[in-house]
Amino acid sequence: MKMTEAERLQIHLDEQLRAAGFDRLAPDLWLAWRAFKSFVEGRSPKEREGMGMAIEHFADRDNVLWFEFSLSVCEARGSTGIGISFSRPIVQELVAVHAGLFFWADEETSLADFWKQVEAEPQFQAAMALPQWEVAST
């Protein structure tokens, strides 16, 4: 069976994370973020249709905080998300949070400015400062 573009790109991202020294058993979110940014910057504008970060807690469902860096890959059968996701027990200040910032290929802002916007988001800063994250998926 032929590998899809999303599968190929996910493998490439995983390789970039490993090359950067990312440890799935003791994840360093800043290292993962830098590797993700480098990965995205190496893609053509067509390959980075939509990407960014999201942080969510579903208060009616569980006590888990989710945090992800993702890239949307457009393929013939639709859009597929790739990236890296983290989870950890919820903390009081982020209960019921649903935040994210995404960059779309047709935006007029630069990628460098987008990274600055993400890193200035209070929810991003709060998530990056928390310990005890686990890798949920890559």
The string of pLDDT tens digits covering residues 33-73 is 999 999 999 987 777 778 999 999 998 888 999 999 999 88
| Residue 79: predicted pLDDT | 81
| Residue 66: predicted pLDDT | 97
Picking from 5, 23, 65, the residue whose alpha carbon sits closest to that of residue 31 is 23
Q: What gap in Å lies between CA 83 and CA 71, rounded to an integer?
A: 6
Statement: residue 116 has pLDDT above 90 = yes
Picking from 49, 132, 126, 61, the residue whose alpha carbon sits closest to that of residue 92 is 126
Residue 123's pLDDT band, with cuts at 50, 70 and 90, is: very high
Residue 104's pLDDT band, with cuts at 50, 70 and 90, is: confident
Supply the range of the domain harboring residue 26: 5-137
Indicate the number of domains in the chain.
1
| Residue 138: predicted pLDDT | 67
